[in-house]
Amino acid sequence: MNSLLRIKAIMLKELIQLKRDRMTFGMVIMIPLIQLLLFAFAINTNIRHIPVGVVDYSQTGLSRVLQQTVAATGVVSFTEHYSSDKNAQEALDRGDVRAILIIPKDVSKRLVRHSSVGLGIPSATDEETSRPIAQWLVDASDTTIAASIKSLRNMPLAQLLDKPANRSVPTFAVTLLYNPEQRSVVNIVPGLVAIILTMTMIMFTSAAIVREQERGNMEMLITTPVTSIELMIGKIIPYIFIGAIQVMIILGLGHFLFNVPINGGLGQLAVATFLFICASLVLGLVISTLATNQLQSMQMTVFILLPSILLSGFMFPYEGMPRLAQQIAEALPATHFIRLIRGVVLRDVQVVDMSFDMLWLMIFILVGLAIAAFRFKKTLD
Amino acid sequence: MSELVINATGLTRKFSQVTAVSSLDLQVEKQTIYGFLGPNGCGKTTAIRLLTGLLKPTSGLVNVLGYHLPNEAEKLRREIGYMTQKFSLYDDLTVTENMKFIARIYGLTANEQKQRLAQLTSLYQLNKISSQLAGSLSGGQKQRLALACAVMHKPKLLFLDEPTSAVDPENRREFWEQLFDLCDQGVTILVSTHYMDEAERCHKLAILEQGVKRADGAPDQLMNDMAAHVIEISGDNLRQLKQKLIEQPEVISASQLGAHLRVLVSKQQHDPIALLQGKNIIKKNSEIQLVRPSLEDVFVTCTGENPLKQLDSEFAQ
């Protein structure tokens, strides 16, 4: 009973302090708002209109139609024309363009012999007939851009010759579920919930106890009957509400502004989010007991935040990472939460069906709270 | 002899190489004001932290209010009040909010909170500033707020660590009146200070230097038992005279107080005035007389070499 009163006392104090600290209070709202707008507009893995150059040795109507056909795919736009390979290469070095299309003199001869034109399948050994009609030189340092241009390798050419495109029968039928329009924002917004919560929740609590120490309040607190666990819980609770507000801002705006579907139940969402907020807050508390000033706590927050962004599956697929990186990712609460929230929001999974991730977050909370309470000593030794 | 509230024997605390408190024996009786007198860094704060259970002693036995430390520190916390040297309430909370916070922490019910807050607010004149942020208060106001919070739960024992260091003399006098009121109500108070006049107000006091207790007892008794005569000399060229005097082996110290020179001479000398006059360094027209010792004289006598210098630099701060 008394314990609850003390937790309430700490909580009310924390709320008053938060209310007085206008800047922090503003950031609670502004961080998710601004980040959502920035990320959702800016991040796009579906690349369009890459600036490229062309060296046209052929200078025929055909070569110009070829350029138009390529440009019509929308993948690239021809921004520069060069007279020679050498000039083009220099432009590529300077970074003026990302790739160069070199159209040879005998492009028309190559085209008529090309298999896609439909003059029969050339024998594989016949070099004359199996030659490509033109060449791409690509600045492949950015793999995403290189992949986009590589996708042009097998573009159909039949329409170049006014022929009906011959409908090739694909080997596999591929059905795109959950994000059929392939919009990046659908995948990013739920992930952003994890990243923003990681950032704000860890940051707020990691500074919480350090601040009391820096301002000298701790010396007074430890002479009172407050126990360390009461202090920790009292400090965490206000931020659970703040975390909930932030989640509502991100998912709400994501839904109404960027049309991100919320397919799962709100109850499911609340359970998963609650667990993750608690896990992040507890992590912040652990940092708080390690750091001796607010700068250190801030640095440790960044130390957790960066792998949470890069390894959690928010930016790059978890499956593509080497085993060691996957193991590190497994240790981060953000990885488990990103799986959960994408599951709930996009695929309407029940959280009980993702019990591994749920269980992992619960264990993380309990272990973290124990470590924090153990490390926070009520003496000055 | 009345009930002992604090009983410590051989209390020692080391921080790696430094011994902050060295085999301190301490007996504090109920309903008294006990003072720790000493310069900064003499172990006053460490001693208080040991007695409140905030620090664990390296060796020694401590019993406070019947609780054995450090094992029963948690139980002790409910019955003591502690006012830290630095203001340790929340600067970004108002006076009332700070008091409410402390009241809640000590588990006062809503009714008790209301009564106690009203009582303390009027007692410590916090009415006018009740909605002001604690960070914007003056030194005296902060100190009154800190005292109000320290006695919120009616502790039996109150620890005050240099409570008046940021307070003007008038507020200091007022503050001591309040301490005597508390004492009258049955509270035992342990206060640390480096002001002589404050130390003189205590029922009993201990003089600490470099973690060691040099003397303890009631201020009057300390002055009577002092191991030195106090002689005042007035005349010309006091600075030069002082230099010559402190070169004498019998002279413990000499310091100038305005137009006088205050000289401490070891009590082993039976006639110190004759001794000094016999040295032939004091001019014939100088006035020379034996005077009653002050607490400062006690302090100088029982602490090591040149303690005045230490104190001077400290007061300068």
Domain boundaries, chain A: 2-43+184-375, 50-161
Residues of A in contact with B107 (CB under 8 A): 2, 5-6, 225
Residue A163 has what pLDDT? 63
Alpha carbon distance A187, A342 (integer Å): 7
Amino acid identity, position A284: G
Establish if A15 touches chain B: CB-CB under 8 angstroms: no
Tell me what the pLDDT averaged over chain B comes to: 87
Residue B188 pLDDT exceeds 80: yes
Residue B309 has what pLDDT? 42
* Confidence category of residue A119, pLDDT binned at 50, 70, 90: low
Residue A125 pLDDT exceeds 60: no
3-state secondary structure B250-269: CEEEEEEECCEEEEEEECCC
Contact between residue B39 and residue B299 where contact means Cβ atoms under 8 Å apart: no
Contact between residue A213 and residue A292 where contact means Cβ atoms under 8 Å apart: yes
Beta-carbon contacts of B40 under 8 Å, excluding residues fewer than 6 positions away, are B194, B314, B317
Residue B32 pLDDT exceeds 80: yes
* Confidence category of residue B210, pLDDT binned at 50, 70, 90: confident
**CB-CB under 8 Å, B74 with A9:** no
Residue A124 has what pLDDT? 54
- Tokens 């609670």, residue located: A28
* A99-103 sheet: strands from edge to edge: A76-82, A50-56, A99-103, A135-138
Instruction: Identify the three-state secondary structure at position B100.
Output: helix
**Looking at residues B217-241, what average pLDDT do you find?**
86
Residue B167 has what pLDDT? 82
- Tokens 């007198």, residue located: B37
Instruction: Tell which CATH classification among 3.30.460, 3.40.190, 3.80.10, 3.40.50 matches the domain A50-161.
Output: 3.40.190
The pairs formed by A167-170 with CB atoms below 8 angstroms and a separation of 24 or more are none
Task: Quick: pLDDT tens for A129-188.
Answer: 567 889 999 999 988 889 888 888 888 776 666 666 556 677 888 889 998 888 888 988
Residue B308 has what pLDDT? 45
Contact between residue A285 and residue A368 where contact means Cβ atoms under 8 Å apart: yes
**CB-CB under 8 Å, B74 with A225:** yes
Residues of A in contact with B106 (CB under 8 A): 224-225
Residue B307 pLDDT exceeds 70: no
Alpha carbon distance B173, B201 (integer Å): 10
3-state secondary structure chain A: CHHHHHHHHHHHHHHHHHHHCHHHHHHHHHHHHHHHHHHHHHCCCCCCCEEEEEEECCCCHHHHHHHHHHHHCCCEEEEEEECCHHHHHHHHHHCCCCEEEEECCCHHHHHHHCHHHCCCCCCCCCHHHHCCCCEEEECCCCHHHHHHHHCCCCCCCHHHHCCCCCCCCCCCCCCCCCCCCCCHHHHHHHHHHHHHHHHHHHHHHHHHHHHHHHCCHHHHHCCCCCCHHHHHHHHHHHHHHHHHHHHHHHHHHHHHHHCCCCCCCHHHHHHHHHHHHHHHHHHHHHHHHHCCCHHHHHHHHHHHHHHHHHHCCCCCCHHHCCHHHHHHHHHCHHHHHHHHHHHHHHHCCCHHHHHHHHHHHHHHHHHHHHHHHHHCCCCCC
The CATH H-level superfamily of B4-222 is: P-loop containing nucleotide triphosphate hydrolases (3.40.50.300)
Residue A54 has what pLDDT? 94
The pairs formed by A226-230 with CB atoms below 8 angstroms and a separation of 24 or more are A226/A6, A226/A10, A226/B105, A227/A3, A227/A6, A227/A378, A228/A372, A228/A373, A228/A376, A228/A377, A228/A378, A229/A369, A229/A373, A230/A3, A230/A6, A230/A7, A230/A10
Closest CA to A73 of A98, A44, A55, A49: A49
Residues in chain A: 381
Nearest to B106 among A13, A219, A225 (CB): A225
Q: How far is B23 from chain A (nearest CA, A)?
A: 19
Nearest to B88 among A10, A17, A219 (CB): A219
Residue A213 pLDDT exceeds 90: no
Strand A99-103 to A50-56 pairing: parallel
* B204-209 sheet: strands from edge to edge: B80-83, B157-161, B188-193, B33-37, B204-209, B212-217
* Confidence category of residue A337, pLDDT binned at 50, 70, 90: very high
- Count Cβ atoms below 10 Å from residue A16 Cβ, excluding itself: 18
- Predicted-assembly ipTM surpassing the 0.90 threshold: no
Beta-carbon contacts of B27 under 8 Å, excluding residues fewer than 6 positions away, are B4, B6, B7, B8
Q: How far is B170 from chain A (nearest CA, A)?
A: 26
Contact between residue B295 and residue B219 where contact means Cβ atoms under 8 Å apart: yes
Tell me what the pLDDT averaged over chain A comes to: 87
**CB-CB under 8 Å, A225 with B105:** yes
Which runs of E-coded beta strand occur in B16-156? 18-29, 33-37, 59-64, 67-69, 80-83
**CB-CB under 8 Å, B54 with A225:** no
Residues of A in contact with B86 (CB under 8 A): 216, 219
Written as one string, the DSSP assignment of B288-308 is: EEEE---HHHHHHHHS-SSHH
Percent of chain A with pLDDT over 90: 49
Residue B41 has what pLDDT? 81
Residue A44 pLDDT exceeds 60: yes
Compare all CA atoms of chain B with the CA of A15 and give the residue at the minimum distance: B93
- Tokens 């004091």, residue located: B282
DSSP state at residue B164 = T
Establish if B16 touches chain A: CB-CB under 8 angstroms: no
Give kind and range of the element (H or E) at residue B155: none
Establish if B155 touches chain A: CB-CB under 8 angstroms: no
Nearest to A380 among B54, B80, B91 (CB): B54
Write the CA distances from B269 to A195, B233, B242, B284, integer angstroms. 82, 17, 19, 21
Nearest to A224 among B53, B55, B77 (CB): B77
Residues of A in contact with B87 (CB under 8 A): 216
**Looking at residues B19-27, what average pLDDT do you find?**
90
Residue B78 pLDDT exceeds 80: yes
Fold of B227-292: Alpha-Beta Plaits (3.30.70)
Task: Quick: pLDDT tens for B91-135.
Answer: 999 999 999 999 999 999 999 999 999 999 999 999 999 999 999
Give kind and range of the element (H or E) at residue B230: strand B228-234
- Count Cβ atoms below 10 Å from residue B276 Cβ, excluding itself: 23
* Confidence category of residue B312, pLDDT binned at 50, 70, 90: very low
Pair of tokens at residue B86: 């630095």
**CB-CB under 8 Å, B52 with A381:** no
Residue B269 has what pLDDT? 80
Contact between residue B163 and residue B134 where contact means Cβ atoms under 8 Å apart: no
Residues of B in contact with A381 (CB under 8 A): 55-56
* Confidence category of residue B304, pLDDT binned at 50, 70, 90: low
Contact between residue A70 and residue A100 where contact means Cβ atoms under 8 Å apart: no
DSSP state at residue B150 = H
Q: Which of B14, B86, B104 to mutate to test the interface with A (most CBs of A within 10 A)?
A: B104
Establish if A22 touches chain B: CB-CB under 8 angstroms: no
**Looking at residues B82-98, what average pLDDT do you find?**
93
Residue B313 has what pLDDT? 44
* Confidence category of residue B311, pLDDT binned at 50, 70, 90: very low
Question: Which of residues B152 and B245 earns the better pLDDT score?
Answer: B152
Question: Which of residues B305 and A236 earns the better pLDDT score?
Answer: A236
Residue A153 has what pLDDT? 85
C-alpha Rg value of chain A to the nearest Å = 29
Contact between residue A149 and residue A136 where contact means Cβ atoms under 8 Å apart: yes
Residue A166 has what pLDDT? 58
Residue A296 has what pLDDT? 93
Percent of chain B with pLDDT over 70: 95
Q: Which of B85, B87, B88 to mutate to test the interface with A (most CBs of A within 10 A)?
A: B88
- Among A85-99, A162-176, A189-203, B185-199, the range scoring the smallest mean pLDDT is A162-176
Contact between residue B87 and residue B149 where contact means Cβ atoms under 8 Å apart: no
Residue A42 has what pLDDT? 80
Residue B114 has what pLDDT? 94
**CB-CB under 8 Å, A217 with B89:** yes
Residue A126 has what pLDDT? 55
**CB-CB under 8 Å, A220 with B84:** yes
Residue B316 has what pLDDT? 44
Task: Quick: pLDDT tens for A265-296.
Answer: 999 999 999 999 999 999 999 998 888 888 99
Establish if B49 touches chain A: CB-CB under 8 angstroms: yes
Phi/psi at B2 (5° precision): -80, 175
* Confidence category of residue B314, pLDDT binned at 50, 70, 90: very low
- Among A320-334, B65-79, B198-212, B262-276, the range scoring the smallest mean pLDDT is B262-276
**CB-CB under 8 Å, A20 with B90:** no
